[in-house]
Structure 1
Amino acid sequence: MPDLLCPHCLQPLPGGYGGDCPHCGRSLENPNPEGALPLGTQLGDRYTVGGYISADGDGLCYRGVLNEEKKFVLIKEYFPVTLCNGRSADGALMPKEGREVLFKTSRMDFKDLYDDLHNLTPATGLSTILDVLEENNTVYAIEESEKGMTLTHYLSLRSRTLTPAEARTLLQPVMEGVTQLHKAGLIHRGICPDNILLPIDGTARLTGYGTLALRTGGSELKSQLYPGYAAPEQYSASEFSGRYTDVYALAAVCYKLVTGQTPVAAPQRRVRDSLESAHSLEAGVPTWFSQVLACALRLDPARRMQTVPELMSALTDPNVANAMFERGDNQISTRKIMGVSLVVIVVLAILLIWSLLESGGGSAAQTPPPAQSSTAQSEDPALDEVETIPNLVGKRYASEIKDNDLYASYRIVMTEENSSDVAAGIVMSQEPAAGTLKTEENQILQIVVSKGPNLVEMPNIIGFTQANASKQLDERDIQYRMQIIENDGTMAEGCVAKTDVLAGTRFDAGKTVVSVFIAGERDDTLVATTGTPAPQDTAESDASQSSSAAE
């Protein structure tokens, strides 16, 4: 066995722990609180536990050392205080009586999360998970340790707010990382300045990973939410988070960067929404940029911006933002305002000319009849040269638009989206709108073409934990609602008991919302009444099977 390492200076300790390090002189006595792993504990013969850092509902965090590479790391230990009675003499965690199944299913969620992150990272904008190991009846996640500061600390050192361009640049890698999380079926749920690291020699990275239960108010674990950044749906176990939850948090962080103020916490906004626009707090923030943040910070998830790429595009390009506002409800686009203003100006100009002609004629008899004036205006060559945007909505892109000389003076930008109502290949929307004045040669004309319905196959998620079930459905873009049902003791607590769409069924994901029924806490009174014992072993077996299926 190799020599133990000093967790402070990484030098070998032939004499073991105790006293002071002969190399750096720092104390090797155990400073960690009761219940935490002692300083110098070896994990998997690969890692040395250093000083205790913090605790949350998922567990404990320590400084640590990767022995072979003599490299500092962070060690996260699954230790849910609401489900544990502490440690045995040999260091193993002991679940509370009657909470064994929930302890195991929650531990499985923790391991599945960090296994997925281990497979996904390293990735742009995400802190890397180096290893996951099981020991002491629990799970340890090993995360990279970067030199730098949190975004919270960085903002405290600044004398001014960031410009929108600076904010976009800083958050770009984090948004790219969250997009990768979402593609892997993972939701972060804890994005805030405290969990964004600014390394000395790199771009911003997101850390602060946590299980669904940790980031949900009223869950079985002691939850950890970040007021102002946590979305409203996170404050209740009866509501369900999704990709739009991280969109809310990212917009809240951006709001903080450009205004210097933390958004009003979601529970308070639900009572009285007093959140001021970014533009009203900081005049240098463009109106369209402020509107994008407002759209992404909507309290209702269904009316909120849904994906991070959509948020990234809208924060970068005002044309994209305006197109989004035209499609959205309760929004007025800048382009529409300009269009209406132009019409008003033209009408006022005509009235002014008319008034001047009347006053210059000297008598009513010399004033041209209105019909003649109208005719003269209609024959004005300048008006005949005005060109308006053609209507492409409803046309077939491949045969009617692509390579068509009629649209040679436009630069057509085509994107595709699934639609349950419009046939594949047909244009669903365009920006600018038809009839709008053409303002330049080779003007950009953005169109959205239907890909037809999004047909998906329902996965078999019976027995999956709530977090794993959400992951499977999110990966397939399946809309779903989850509902807690009464548990008579025959179902694994916190796992999927049934769905209203059978596994293997193909359906239109754009029109169907799948109902997923989650088994609630076992009701021992029902077990006693029916005389059927609660099969803990079966519940644990189902949970294990769900983990294998998820992997």
Structure 2
Amino acid sequence: MNDKTYDGPCKLCGYSDSDPCIPTYLVPKTFLNGRYIVGKLISYNGEGASYIGYDTAAKTRVIIKEFMPDTLCSRMKGETEISVNADNSALYKTYMSEFADLYRSLMKLRGMAHIQAVNDIFSENGTCYAVLEYISGISLKTYLENSAGVLSWEQVKELFPPILTTLSLIHAAGIIHRGISPQTIFVTDKMELKLAGFCISAERTTNTEIACEIFSGYAAPEQYSNEINGTWTDVYGISAVLYRVLTGTAPAEAIARTGNTMPEPMLINRDIPQHVSRVIMNGMKLSTETRIRSVTEFVDKLFAPPRYIGNEPARGSDGRPLSRREAKILEKKKRERKKTLIALIAIGIVLIIFAATFALALSGAFGKIGGEPSDESSSSAQSSSSSFSQSSSSKPTESSSSSESTDNSSSSEPVEATIQISDFKDCSYEKTAARYEGKLVFVPTYDYSDEYGAGMIFDQSIEPGEFVPLGTQIKVKVSKGKSVVPLPDYNGDNEAAYTEKLEKLNIKYKVEKKKTNDVGEGLVASCSKEVGDLVKVSEGEIVVVYIAEKAPESSSSSSTDSSSQPQE
């Protein structure tokens, strides 16, 4: 944030006072804790919102993070106080306590240069706020997009060690990130990396009561299930980041991976050292049991000097080290033996093919004498020919170098990409459909439900846990809200305010005028049903809303008033 001494939109960020604001979140210029000015909303997720802000005491820009899980609470437009849903009060307090504990722990680590520092924590408006360092830089995602899209191993060796050390220290403090990705790592103006994007655990795992934010390709498989998360979860995340940085290719989503379908980094970029490629793949193993378990272990293996088999001097049959001339002669003999072996294999293949061809020709000759060959003999001959063809193509591969073998194995038939179906019940339909866009096709039908809130999924056509091809169509039932709801109170409401309440509850209504002086003109005077009476929403029951219209004074009242005047 900066002082703006001119009219119109901000020349730096484009913000204008006339820009519409999302009613759920704080409006710009809100003053918090007697010190912080709230600016533009820059991001939000299921846990809460982040605003650019200004610290009036330190006179510096900050990031203000507000705990605001919109599935558990709400805020009226123009208000600052948060209203917690009655059914979610206990859960809201639990998550808010975890939010506060997380940022208190991070505040103790603010001496570390490679994480986004936490400057302050306070409670206000029925929620909790954390004030974070404003990072002067861009995300690693943007940095890669603006450059060549890839970094060399030499560049990675310079950039990443400090953030890896920091991650290890964060784990020692009992904090698991769960959201490491190019979006949550920032490149500062000093060309240093900083880790940001810390959230409570429920925000980084699926099937929780708040809308989760998971980074596809960087989230570990256990984040899509009920498996325990740990340091190994962040090992997966940082390994996936290195995969993206070194290859320029985004890693496959964990739940879409099956077996060894994802190519090793060194097969995409030949400049990546073999041991580095292997360590990254070991850090991205789907099984938590076989994956590298800690960042310390990961770093030790990643930066360990590679072991080269060819460093030992050549030795003779008696174990004596050979001279350079003797070693060259020995190597030449080995090459000649290898050529001879390949030639023998090739001759053998030619003889086999010749024998097969001769046999087929012979059987064809007999077939002409004895009539047309049967379907069985024809298919048998084709099968035999196919098997010989396969053997002829596979045998040279066996005799080729190890690098050729690796290339051939990587060019095997692609396995169809699949995705594991999650339990979508009690999840927001809009957010779920957006998160799985391009992976699943959701076909919704809407119906009333007394158990699930409006907009929440309460049934699905494919059982959770099943694996289906990407792009599969899944039918879901989405709640329109309760079938029967109590009529809300209208005391002090005008027409617009009260009809908004009715619309939120799916109650159909019609408005009529009623002459009365019992309430102010334009306010709701009464309804065709009493407040608290049940309205059958699913049957389309209509409630008549009577809006007060000033009634004329009655003539009897006027005559009474005149008769009460003193006579002259």
Structure-1-length-normalised TM-score: 0.54
| Displacement after TM superposition at 1:168 (Å) | 2.6
Mapping 1:138-149, distance limit 5 Å: 138-149=127-138
| Displacement after TM superposition at 1:38 (Å) | 1.1
2:115 aligns to what SS in structure 1?
A: coil
Q: Which residue of 1 aligns with 2:374?
A: none
2:87 aligns to what SS in structure 1?
A: coil
Q: Percent of counterpart pairs with the same letter?
A: 31
Instruction: Give yes or no for contact 1:168–1:315 (8 Å, CA) kept in 2.
Output: no
Mapping 1:360-399, distance limit 5 Å: none
CA distance in 2 between partners of 1:39 and 1:143 (Å)? 18
| Displacement after TM superposition at 1:122 (Å) | 3.1
Aligned: 1:216 with 2:205:
yes
Aligned: 1:61 with 2:50:
yes
Change (3 A) 1:168 1:218: farther
Instruction: Give yes or no for contact 2:23–2:78 (8 Å, CA) kept in 1.
Output: no
CA distance in 2 between partners of 1:161 and 1:203 (Å)? 17
CA distance in 1 between partners of 2:80 and 2:200 (Å)? 23
Q: Which residue of 2 aligns with 1:304?
A: 291
Q: Which residue of 1 aligns with 2:545?
A: none
1:134 pairs with one of 113, 116, 123: 123
2:61 aligns to what SS in structure 1?
A: strand
| Displacement after TM superposition at 1:85 (Å) | 3.1
Aligned: 1:9 with 2:28:
no
Change (3 A) 1:165 1:315: farther
Change (3 A) 1:279 1:343: farther
Instruction: Give yes or no for contact 1:125–1:176 (8 Å, CA) kept in 2.
Output: no
CA distance in 2 between partners of 1:20 and 1:257 (Å)? 36
Q: Bigger radius of gyration, 1 or 2?
A: 2
| Displacement after TM superposition at 1:69 (Å) | 2.0
CA distance in 2 between partners of 1:113 and 1:73 (Å)? 18
Mapping 1:476-495, distance limit 5 Å: none
CA distance in 2 between partners of 1:196 and 1:220 (Å)? 27
Q: Which residue of 2 aligns with 1:96?
A: 85
Q: Which residue of 2 aligns with 1:263?
A: 251
| Displacement after TM superposition at 1:312 (Å) | 1.6
Change (3 A) 1:72 1:338: same
Aligned: 1:254 with 2:248:
no
Change (3 A) 1:202 1:134: farther
Instruction: Give yes or no for contact 2:49–2:66 (8 Å, CA) kept in 1.
Output: yes
CA RMSD after TM alignment: 3.3
Deviations 1:306-337 (Å, cap 9, x if unpaired)? 11122122221235xx6xxxxxxxxxxx65x9
Aligned: 1:157 with 2:146:
yes
Q: Name which structure has the greater RCO, CA cutoff 8 Å, separation 6+.
A: 1
Instruction: Give yes or no for contact 1:31–1:39 (8 Å, CA) kept in 2.
Output: no
1:291 pairs with one of 260, 268, 278: 278
1:317 pairs with one of 304, 314, 323: 304
CA distance in 2 between partners of 1:255 and 1:185 (Å)? 26
CA distance in 2 between partners of 1:298 and 1:342 (Å)? 39
Instruction: Give yes or no for contact 1:88–1:94 (8 Å, CA) kept in 2.
Output: no
Mind listing any 5+ residue stretches in structure 1 that lack a counterpart? 1-6, 323-333, 357-551
1:98 aligns to what SS in structure 2?
A: helix
Deviations 1:55-113 (Å, cap 9, x if unpaired)? 10110111100012221111110000111133487522111121100010011111111
Structure 1 letter corresponding to 2:245: L
Change (3 A) 1:343 1:153: farther
Tell me which moved more, 298-307 or 153-162: 153-162
| Displacement after TM superposition at 1:220 (Å) | 1.6
| Displacement after TM superposition at 1:244 (Å) | 0.7
| Displacement after TM superposition at 1:26 (Å) | 7.4
Q: Which residue of 1 aligns with 2:227?
A: 239
Structure 1 letter corresponding to 2:152: T
Deviations 1:229-266 (Å, cap 9, x if unpaired)? 10111111x11110011111111111111111111110
Q: Which runs of 4+ in 1 moved over 6 A?
A: 18-21, 341-347
2:37 aligns to what SS in structure 1?
A: strand
Structure 1 letter corresponding to 2:35: R
Mind listing any 5+ residue stretches in structure 2 that lack a counterpart? 334-568
Change (3 A) 1:42 1:289: same
2:70 pairs with one of 68, 81, 99: 81
CA distance in 2 between partners of 1:93 and 1:34 (Å)? 12
Aligned residues: 325
| Displacement after TM superposition at 1:161 (Å) | 2.5
CA distance in 2 between partners of 1:105 and 1:121 (Å)? 25
Deviations 1:203-249 (Å, cap 9, x if unpaired)? 1100011110000111121111111110111111x111100111111
Change (3 A) 1:316 1:344: farther
Instruction: Give yes or no for contact 1:150–1:198 (8 Å, CA) kept in 2.
Output: yes
